[in-house]
Chain A
Amino acid sequence: MYCSYEAQDRARALLLTYLSPGQRETFQVRGHFDIVKTGCRRSLEMLFLGYPRFRIYRLSRSRFPVTIFTSARQLARSLPKYGYCIHSHGSAPQDDELLSMKLLIDHDESRFVYIACRFRSPVARARLLAEQQEYWDIAGRA
């Protein structure tokens, strides 16, 4: 079952009212917004899973809606370390899902980590492979 355009518009409007002015601007211009959790308390599970102090979640309407940056270098290069597989039970507008994820990360990060399936970011992997390929191409020509 698909959501109507009207439902998507309503979900978008609701999401925008829950974003901070900075997040709203970034979302409207770039299609994503960040949630900064750097320095926030980590649960025991998060510590076991190796979550560092530096944590910035990026939410977008892409195929992988939530990614995490665990260092300033990753953030500067837009290469998240992990992505998360998480979705809603049924058919809901994607912006409703984003809002639910945002609020869960804001208020109960450890529960988000518990619910979502974490995987190595495919973006980072693809870029790494491209860089390696480029290196071998250059090395082959030399």
Chain B
Amino acid sequence: MKSVLKIQSIRGDDEFQWDPGVEDEQLRRAKQEFAQARDRQFFAYSRSESGDTEVIEDFDPNAREILMAIPLLGG
């Protein structure tokens, strides 16, 4: 089953899929997009099959779903 990275954007969200355990271009692209979103202060969450979410700091290639949530400002 494919894993997916979802990054919130003006288009709703952008999806990047990869095969866990397969070191290929899709995985490299997902890692790169994750790193870029982190640089833009996005919050990173991993979501399991049961629907539970947890905060992650680094890209997890074995995660089922990773969500990059938009950064928030007060005021």
A residues engaging B (CB < 8 A)?
A: 1, 3-4, 6-11, 14, 18, 20, 84-93, 96-97, 99-101, 103-104, 106-108, 115-117
Q: A6-B12, A10-B13 are in contact. List 13 more A-B contacts (CB 8 A).
A: A4-B11, A9-B12, A11-B8, A11-B12, A14-B12, A18-B53, A86-B73, A89-B71, A92-B8, A96-B13, A100-B8, A103-B67, A108-B55
Q: How far is the CA of A85 from the CA of B67 in the complex (A)?
A: 24
Q: How far is the CA of A1 from the CA of B10 in the complex (A)?
A: 9
B74 touches which of A9, A96, A100, A115 (Cβ 8 Å): A115
The reply to whether A100 and B12 contact each other, CB–CB distance below 8 Å, is no
Interface size (B, Cβ < 8 Å)?
A: 23
Secondary structure at the B interface, as helix, strand, loop or mixed, is strand
The reply to whether B55 and A107 contact each other, CB–CB distance below 8 Å, is yes
B21 at the interface (CB under 8 A from A): no
Q: How far is the CA of A101 from the CA of B71 in the complex (A)?
A: 9
Give the chain B neighbours of A101 by CB distance below 8 A: 72
Q: How far is the CA of A3 from the CA of B8 in the complex (A)?
A: 12
Given known pairs A7-B12, A10-B13, A92-B8, the reply for A86 and B72 (CB within 8 Å) is yes
